[in-house]
Amino acid sequence: MSKQASRSCDPRKVNGELFTLTYGALVAQLLRDYEDDEEVNKQLEKMGYNIGVRLIEDFLARTNTGRCNDFRETADIISKMAFKMYLGITPVVSNWSAAGDEFSLLIENNPLIDFVELPDGHNALNYSSLLCGVLRGALEMVQMEVDVKFVQDQLKGDSVTELRLKFVKRLEDAVPVGED
Partner 1 sequence: MADEVLFELFHSEIVAFLYRTTDKEDQDQCIAKLESLGFRVGQSLVERFTKDCSRFKDDLDIMKFICKDFWNSVFKKQVDNLRTNHQGVYVLQDNRFRFLTQISNGKQFMDAAPKYLAMACGIIRGSLANIGINSVVTAEVSAMPACKFQIQLQRT
Q: Name the minimum Å distance from CB 154 to partner 1.
A: 18
The distance of closest approach from Cβ of residue 71 to partner 1 in the complex, given in angstroms and rounded to an integer, is: 24
User: Least distance (Å) from partner 1 to the CB of residue 23?
Assistant: 7
> Nearer to partner 1 by C-beta: 52 or 144?
52
Nearest to 155 by CA among 129, 120, 127: 127
11, 43, 175 from 112: Cα distances, Å: 18, 16, 35
Nearer to partner 1, 12 or 170 (CB): 12
Beta carbons within 8 Å of 146's beta carbon, 6+ residues apart: 135, 136, 139, 140, 165, 166, 167, 168
In terms of CB distance, is 30 or 146 closer to partner 1? 30
Which CB sits closer to partner 1, 21 or 92?
21
Site residues (CB under 8 A) for partner 1? 1-2, 4-5, 7-9, 11-23, 25-26, 28-29, 43, 46-47, 50-51, 54-55, 58, 85-88, 111, 115
Environment class of residue 86 by beta-carbon count within 10 Å: exposed (0-12), middle (13-18) or buried (19+)? Answer: middle
Cα–Cα distance, 133 to 60 (Å, whole number):
18
Residue number, 23 or 127, with CB nearest to partner 1: 23
Query: Shortest approach of partner 1 to residue 98 CB, angstroms?
Result: 34
H helices of 37-179, in order, are 37-63, 71-76, 83-87, 129-140
Bridge pairing between strands 102-107 and 161-170: antiparallel
- CB of 179 vs partner 1, minimal distance in Å: 20
